[in-house]
Structure 1
């Protein structure tokens, strides 16, 4: 059998597929005669999305795998759509290699029978591929080369490899997974890292070593943020694997710290201040022309760098003092309005209440309408202390 040509093997496959088709039809007829089988009882992972049962979506078993797909039933027949690469490839090959058989499946009106026929044919094609691979002798040098590289990587990371020695599966590292004496702080890989690793050709060992190097740089980045996360009130994000922080300052002010590239740990971040002007005046000169960035030391963590750059002028609010600072909008009582944060502030030194721009604009327009006023710029009294707030000044 191993000496057969590819044409002979393809002919054998088409013959096997036709025989399997006849056998499946006889099985289906017998099964239906004994006990009717509905689509949902055979494929419980599928969910009907329309009352007329013209659209299904969910997962089905394809071999040993769960595959997500969608079935659309109309007058022309049944259409199957899937983002699963393997099943989509098998569908295209089935349509190309045996168009008559594929058209026959497509003409089936019953979604239960259609899906059963299609998955059975795809399984037959997949088994045929596996048998073909077994007929092809593998080079001993290839075995030795791959084995040596896996030994250098370390078998604790190795999960499995396909028969063709092309697809390698490694473990998905959790946030607390230990690498020797060190720990990865995040399982989220930046897109810049993935692009860099995939943009150049390299063998298995080179790819793994490159990934380990980048993961180590990423670990250092999150370690540099630890003191900031633990000692200050981080308002946003809730997922600390992001590359930015919004931290609370005194007088209801907020400092946003954004790192453009977390892999460049030596580069200072972008700083943005949100608060009333009187709070910002103390360190406005340091913000000008990014003078503070000249003091940035990549060896020191982020919180210590900020303290070195600004001294006592920036006073971070500790976590235990969150009740003493109001960061929520004084009108809608929420911090986030969609993706907007409060950027309008009362200038009263005893108030400092924050507002979303949209909330304050609506409030100011209501005040104008109530008093019959029309101004070139929008102003309105603070809802707490009644001090006039100028919207354009806040912007």
Structure 2
């Protein structure tokens, strides 16, 4: 026996009868519907049981295993539409649309958002503040947000939204993650401000490494753990052996002085028993960090990272420059990855370890 559909609010667009003619009511109150929903020339069995108040958010769906498989990856979208549909007719029209997309894109797990998705997103942006929105694509699925942490550092994050995403939650989670890095950034900001950082020239917030000038042709490279920024970082020295060796010895003998409650820069000073000169100090002195071969500080993106070990020389060189120089000498020789020759500055013996680098 065919029972007529109960009246639903007037709406433009396709109706359940036109979209799902094989899905019919099974009782007079219109609380139980059974039948088939069709998409892509396939029919799928579906049963919907509505509560006494006919509210869709409390409805129960009983899907055939074929329909469950077809909607795999889209269950959250179906549940969302169920929560926000005003009546069964509008829900079934949307369900057919979702099923069409799922069958056309079996490897995709996202369906097109419903209109209410956009209204909710606009409300989220209103709540956050439109000044925090830097970019949004045409589909409102990819956003770029500006976040300012508690120390007034400005960060940009890219957010790819799904049908279940809540922008406020995403923003709060990102802010929490940024706040967890406060001590790490505080430590590196102090180093960038109070020392001469040789590399990187313009460090990003994700950069954990700093190469810091100590003196003429002498530097230290530190690699800070963002999760434990107050602990002793990995340290590497660059310079002539007669200068670097005493620094290594101080690091080993004074490591017990490291205090996690003291700032990173102050700890390094205490352990090495030195004061780091600033860039201004170098500018006012006769210190030179230029390559003794090409007479430039930067060669492409590289800075001098080789030095002559002679006590009275200590001239720095770019690795590439020194390699070319030693290769041009008839008297130079190579053993495995080490080239032996003469310093182009003082003519004293000098070696270059290639470290698997090709030129």
Q: 2:282 aligns with which of 283, 303, 322?
A: 322
Alpha carbons 1:342, 1:354 under 8 Å: kept: yes
Q: 1:244 aligns with which of 202, 205, 209?
A: 209
| Cα distance in 1 between the residues matched to 2:135 and 2:341 | 66
Return closer, same or farther for 1:263/1:188 CA change in 2, 3 Å cut-off.
farther
In 2, are the aligned partners of 1:224 and 1:301 still within 8 Å (CA)?
yes
Gaps of 5+ in 2: 1-10, 20-100, 105-111
In 2, Cα distance between equivalents of 1:160 and 1:374: 58
**1:188-337 aligned within 5 A:** 203-241=166-204, 242-260=207-225, 262-287=226-251, 292=255, 295-297=258-260, 299-312=261-274, 315-323=275-283, 324-337=286-299
Deviations 1:217-246 (A, max 9, x none): 334322222332222111222223233211
CA distance in 2, matches of 1:351, 1:394: 24
Shift in alpha-carbon separation, 1:285–1:4, aligned structure 2, 3 A = same
Distance 1:383 1:160 in 2: 54
Q: CA deviation at 1:182?
A: 3.4
Distance 1:162 1:144 in 2: 17
Q: 1:169 to 1:365 in 2, by over 3 A?
A: closer
Cα distance, 1:343 vs. partner? 3.2
Offset at residue 255 of structure 1 (A): 1.1
Displacement of 1:6 after TM fit?
8.5
Given that 1:224 and 1:300 are in contact with CA atoms closer than 8 Å, whether structure 2 keeps it comes out as: no
Q: Which residue of 1 aligns with 2:88?
A: none
C-alpha change, 1:7 and 1:182, in structure 2 (3 Å) is farther
TM-score, with structure 2 as normaliser: 0.54
Number of the residue aligned with 1:4 = 14
Gap change, CA 1:387 and 1:267, over 3 Å in 2: same
The answer (yes or no) to whether the contact 1:278–1:347 under 8 Å persists in 2 is: yes
Number of equivalent positions: 250
Contact 1:363 1:380 in 2 (8 A): no
* Cα RMSD (Å): 4.8
Query: Greater CA radius of gyration, 1 or 2?
Result: 2
SS of 1:272 mapped into structure 2: strand
Q: How does 1:77-226 map to 2 (within 5 A)?
A: 138=116, 157=132, 167=141, 171-173=145-147, 182-184=151-153, 186-187=154-155, 203-226=166-189
Contact 1:344 1:357 in 2 (8 A): yes
Query: What's the secondary structure of 2:344's corresponding residue?
Result: coil
User: For the residues of structure 2 that align with 1:146 and 1:167, how far apart are their CA atoms?
Assistant: 12
The CA deviation at 1:335 is 3.6
* Higher helix proportion (structure 1 or 2): 1
Distance of 1:391 and 1:187 partners within structure 2: 42
Output the TM-score relative to the length of structure 1.
0.49
